[in-house]
Amino acid sequence: MKKSYKIEVDCANCANLMEEAANKVPGVKHCVVNFMTLKMNVEFEPDADPKRVMQEVRAACRKVESDCEIFL
């Protein structure tokens, strides 16, 4: 399953760090963050619960960029 989320991030480098962090979260098959459109596109593993996974993604992203936001 694929989903798109609106994000709030300050710079392109921070967006790249968020993308790297999200791709390391279990349950995420592939994640792409687009700084220009302020969107995060996430493809989940088939057996993953998107709500639970996205809570972990948010926590992981806040470790690299404390003031980032992902609107779930």
Distance CA 55, CA 60 (A): 9
Residue 8, both tokens: 């709030």
pLDDT in tens, 53-65: 999 999 999 999 8
The residue range of the domain holding 10 is 2-71
Number of independent structural domains in the chain:
1
pLDDT of residue 39: 98
What is the CATH classification number for the domain harbouring 19?
3.30.70.100
Does the CA dihedral 27-66-11-3 come out positive or negative? positive
pLDDT of residue 3: 98
pLDDT of residue 60: 97
Instruction: Report the predicted TM-score, pTM, of the whole model to 2 decimal places.
Output: 0.94
pLDDT of residue 71: 96
Alpha helices, H only, the chain: 12-23, 50-64
pLDDT in tens, 15-36: 999 999 999 999 999 999 999 9
- Measured CA to CA in angstroms, residue 36 lies from 9, 32, 33, 42, 68 at distances of 10, 12, 9, 17, 15
pLDDT of residue 24: 98
